[in-house]
Structure 1
Amino acid sequence: MLTILLIAYLVFAPASFAQTSRPSRNGAHSASTREVFTAADRRAVERAIGATCAERIRDPQGSVPIDEMQARPSLPVNNPEALAGARRAERLLPVTRKLVINAIIQLAKEYDLYNTGVSRARINSATARVDSVKRVKADVDARDNASVALREPRTIEFGTIFLAGLRSDEAMISVLAHELTHIASGQSDALRPLFRAIGRRAAARTGLRIQGQRAEELSCDLVGALAARQFINQTGSWEPLPRRIARAFEHNCVDDDASDEDHLSPRNTIRALFTLDVSLASELAAATIGTNVIRSSATALTPSASRF
């Protein structure tokens, strides 16, 4: 009888990872909306994808899509666009480290992975590794990729094509943050429970297979989007808010939308990220691009976006 009762509990108990797609402004979630993801939410996600990729074309600082980068010839380290990208990455690395630490802790709290002494110690140990990264290295052979070596977690290696293709601060921060999140998880896979929880929620809402390395890559993209969004909050600008948000995702606006075992396809990456935070998707899709908007650090964050 005890076994039957236990099985019944496990079957009917609500999944702990399924939370609301519309977080409250302070990051908390009401129990009654945790599992809600509606047809209207899905339409908002698709509109946001369209708005992002349309804005990429209009924006002078719009990123080059990944498939276009892959088709380009290699760039030498002293190429002016690659040099400009390297300088941008080095300038933004210190602030991105802080943004990543905040984003990881924010997500750990949202996914109920920061509520015990053991879980907090695990997350804090991971975020401490982020501060060890001090250098960005340009590499011709890396082409359109960025990567880190976990055995030597002090350097982010960037392909020169990638450096040249990320033309805005927001885009560069999203990629730097992605790589810093890999370093945070480290050889011990300290963030695996968080990656697994994010992957489960995204899979439930998209119907896509998001496990293992795919869940890690998507989670790193999500930290990248959060970091970019927080950066936007902290830096006032006369540029339209939707334009700045779109920059964190634009390199995924590809024509050749291919996936592999470790990554969702670029467009499905955008889809999964907006699905994880419909409020951000709605903000991007509903706002009028072309309106001058200033955001300060008082603006609330909403989770959300990328892929590498």
Structure 2
Amino acid sequence: MSVAQIETKREHEGFFTTTYVSLVNWARKSSLWPYPFGTACCAIEFMSVVSSHYDIARFGSEVVRFSPKQSDVLMVLGTINDKMGPVLKQIYDQMAEPKWVISMGACATCGGFYRAYHVMQGIDEIIPVDVYIPGCPPTPEAVLDAVIKLQQQVENDKRLSYERHPRQTRLKVPEFDATVHDLQGPPRSVVRFLEEDHEVHGYIATAFKQRFADDLMHMREFRGDLSITVKRDHVKDILRTLKNDPVFDFKMLLDVTAVDYLSERASRYDVVYHLLSLSNKHRLRLKVPVPGDDPTIDSAID
């Protein structure tokens, strides 16, 4: 029987031939129900993907399920710290086979700019990943591209029932400890740059020099914000004056944080106060060096 005869016979009898594997893979790739594990800003981008503008329903992934037993694709959207690792692993284990994983964004993929002891440097430390989406955050188009790439993987898979990738057996068990052990301080050139004195003008800088000349260590202006480094002995008095004196009027203490310079300086830490004056429309970054062998400082409040 010729090819033309076969085509004619198929056309009139209303059937087509395929393989069982191809049929099952077609059904699977066309109904990938996602479980969005959102922890940070990438989750916001995912919300736009399921909206009508980008319409992920075109790819059969509009049925969002927040139950691991009813989903096919675990989409990790955002930063995963070490405490969240066991939770993520448990959710992945509760998903039925076959299951797939999409790592969305730099934080989920490699830790992003959180190169720190408390952040997992990529979710593939504990679960296998099928598709990585670069970006911080990725665009909605990048998410759709990842879904298409995953569909291609599913379509070409010849195994109907299988355990996940062999590399899963080599993945480590999530623990409540650090995953980054080789932390390094900033280059010495950066430390020297931050400690350089610059000639800073303006009434706030002038008034500060007059009031706290004995406590002032460094003063510089960076990107329009005034940064002042003072000794820690009288930090509470300095903060009180900056708040109550109408010349300064820094009524808002936005944030208190710390920087660890490791071994690059005599004073290992900086305690940083971010202050804002709405009346004067000024920001101030007040830094207080703290030695590593005595990492204490007075509270900003009584």
What is the TM-score with the length of structure 1 in the denominator?
Answer: 0.24
Structure with greater strand percent: 2
Structure with greater helix percent: 1
